[in-house]
Structure formats: C-alpha cells, structure tokens
Amino acid sequence: MKKIINIHVNGQDYELAVEPNKTLVDLLRTDLGLTGTKKGCELGDCGSCTVIMDGKTINSCLVLAVQANNSRIQTIEGLQTEAGLHPLQQAFVEKGAIQCGFCSSGMILSSKNLLDRNPNPSEQEIREAVSGNLCRCTGYQKIVDAVADVGNKKK
Ligand code: FES
Ligand code: FES
C-alpha cells in the first residue's frame, strides 16, 4: 500500500504517494524526472546516486523514499542558478574533470557540501570529501583541481 510523503526538492514542495520499498534515487529519477542523479551499484559503493539531504550527502540508493518524508533534498538540477552553471559545474568543465560524466553529479554535490562547510579546503580535505564517489575515467586529480580552484576563488 502506498504511503503519502511530503518532500522538498530543489526549492519545490511535493506531496507524493510512494511504495514502501521505493528508494529515494528511484523517486527522484522516475517520479520527479531528475535523472541527473545516477544509479550505479545500488549498494552504497559508487556514490553516483549522491544527493544532499538536510545538509548532509547521502547515497540515495540506500534511503527509502518514505525515510525522506519531510526532508529537504538538493540534486544536481538544483545547483544551476539564473546566471548559469554553478561555479563548481563550471570549474569541472574548465578543468577537464568530466569525461563520461557518470560520477559528476555525485562528485559535484559532495564537493559542494564540503565547500559549504569549508570554503577553502586542502587537497587532502577535498580527497576525503569525495572519497565515497568513484570515478573510473579522470584519475581524480582534475576533480581535486576543479574543487580547489573554486575554493581559491572564494578566498
Ligand atoms: Fe548508490 Fe552506487 S548507486 S552508491
Ligand atoms: Fe567517468 Fe567519472 S568521469 S566515471
């Protein structure tokens, strides 16, 4: 039997009827059409499904939609501003930190969450912040450079 949940996603309120076993990643991708959140391992290992929930990064494949009732979610679609790309999105493009792009939304959200707490992180702090996000393409250095670049601009 479906349950009614209220959820705030990227600045918008939704009231949705969801199956008790539906994961948050499936709710975001199928019910709300927010396919920027990727689904890789569905085991909590790859980080491609990372979103920010009530100020913390989470693997949305490990959270049931009903557990997200009354929470505030930010996905990659919520980062873009009226002025255009978020500075992190822009830096990832400029530094070549995106290749296939499958990890990028999770990487960027983990990085944003770090910069919100620590505007000018060290390389080590950046590496720790994205340690739950796997990338098979870039070798990570360009990702670290992109995040550091945004941090430096905030100095
Ligand atoms: Fe969620 Fe891999 S799909 S951690
Ligand atoms: Fe391909 Fe990271 S850019 S997995």
The domain that contains 92 carries what CATH number? 1.10.150.120
Measured from the CB, is residue 102 less than 6 Å from ligand 2?
A: yes
Q: pLDDT category, 78, cuts 50, 70, 90?
A: very high
Ligand 2 centre distance from Cα of residue 155 (Å): 28
Read off the pLDDT of residues 14-65 as tens digits, 9 standing for 90 and up. Answer: 999 999 999 999 999 999 999 999 999 999 999 999 999 999 999 999 999 9
For ligand 2, atom 1: residue with the closest CA = 100
Q: Which atom of ligand 1 is nearest to the CA of 62?
A: 1
Tell me, yes or no, whether 54 and 103 share the same domain. Answer: no
Residue-range definition of the domain harbouring residue 8: 3-77
Q: In what order do the strands lie in the sheet with 3-9?
A: 12-18, 3-9, 71-74, 50-53, 56-59
Ligand 2 centre distance from Cα of residue 36 (Å): 14
Q: Is 25 a member of any domain?
A: yes
CATH of the domain at 13: 3.10.20.30
Q: Is 63 a member of any domain?
A: yes
Distance CA 82, CA 86 (A): 9
Q: pLDDT category, 106, cuts 50, 70, 90?
A: very high
- Closest ligand to 47 CA? 1
Q: Is 82 a member of any domain?
A: no
Number of domains in the chain: 2
Q: Which atom of ligand 2 is nearest to the CA of 137?
A: 1
Tell me, yes or no, whether 122 and 73 share the same domain. Answer: no
Tell me, yes or no, whether 93 and 59 share the same domain. Answer: no
Whole-number mean pLDDT of the chain? 96
Contact present, 57 and 51 (Cβ < 8 Å): yes
Write down which residue in 22, 49, 77 finishes a domain: 77
pTM for this model (two decimals): 0.95
